[in-house]
Chains A and B, each alone.
Chain A
Amino acid sequence: EDQVTQSPEALRLQEGESSSLNCSYTVSGLRGLFWYRQDPGKGPEFLFTLYSAGEEKEKERLKATLTKKESFLHITAPKPEDSATYLCAVQAPGGFKTIFGAGTRLFVKA
């Protein structure tokens, strides 16, 4: 069964303390892996799409990487405004359905 597992469930960092979020997936024939950010009371906001192992994408303090079984979202020198839930998702074979993980809640303290 296609599945996405994110860890940790919650992560508390001090401002400036870099860390990584993990997303492991089991899907036959990955067509794309996505990262979204969700703020409380709002809809998810698209961050990145990764298509193949070895690919990396960056946006401000965030860098997403992809291997054959997992993806990492690296956060460098985070700021309090980076506090949010980060969702990982994969596109299932057939291409129409996106499967989301439960997310990692990130708290960054000033």
Chain B
Amino acid sequence: DTAVSQTPKYLVTQMGNDKSIKCEQNLGHDTMYWYKQDSKKFLKIMFSYNNKELIINETVPNRFSPKSPDKAHLNLHINSLELGDSAVYFCASSQGRTAYEQYFGPGTRLTVT
């Protein structure tokens, strides 16, 4: 059973396009996150939702828009993709707002050409 799943695993697209990444968790957690891992392997928080409420919104271009239709799903939509958006995007989940033990998905490698 996959705990946190993401689709797609790989995404190759051209500059200016709009794309979405989907995330689902079957752990019954109430908090979900989006992280970006750049080429230097730094993992940086982008957004977090608790019970569908946005609780973390880091300094991220407003071209990035998260959406949480329910506690088990958190999607990330990116408009007008730029070269600098190329990275691996990880979804994660945890129980409770306080970001303790987090379970990560396998990642989505986004390449913008």
Interface residues of A (CB under 8 A from B): 31-32, 34, 41-46, 49, 85, 87, 89, 91, 95-100, 102-103
Q: Report yes or no: A100 in contact with B42, Cβ–Cβ below 8 A.
A: yes
Binding site for A on B (CB under 8 A): 4, 40-45, 48, 55-56, 58, 90, 92, 97-107
Q: With a CB–CB cut-off of 8 A, which chain B residues contact A43? A: 4, 90, 92, 104-107
Contact B45 A98 (CB under 8 A): yes
- Expressed in whole angstroms, the Cα–Cα distance for A109 and B29 within the complex equals 38
Select which of B41, B99, B106 is within 8 A of A91 by beta carbon.
B99
Q: Given A31-B98, A43-B105, A49-B100, do A87 and B45 touch, yes or no (CB 8 Å)? A: no
B94 CB, min distance to chain A CBs, angstroms: 9
Chain A residues positioned under 8 Å from B97 (CB to CB): 95-96
Q: Roughly how many angstroms separate A71 CA and B48 CA in the complex, as a whole number?
A: 26
> Which residue of B has the minimal Cβ distance to A46?
B101
Min CB distance B51 to A, Å, is 13
> Shortest CB–CB separation between residue B44 and chain A, in angstroms?
7
In the complex, the 5 A-B pairs of residues with the closest C-beta atoms, listed nearest first: A43-B104, A95-B98, A100-B43, A44-B104, A98-B99
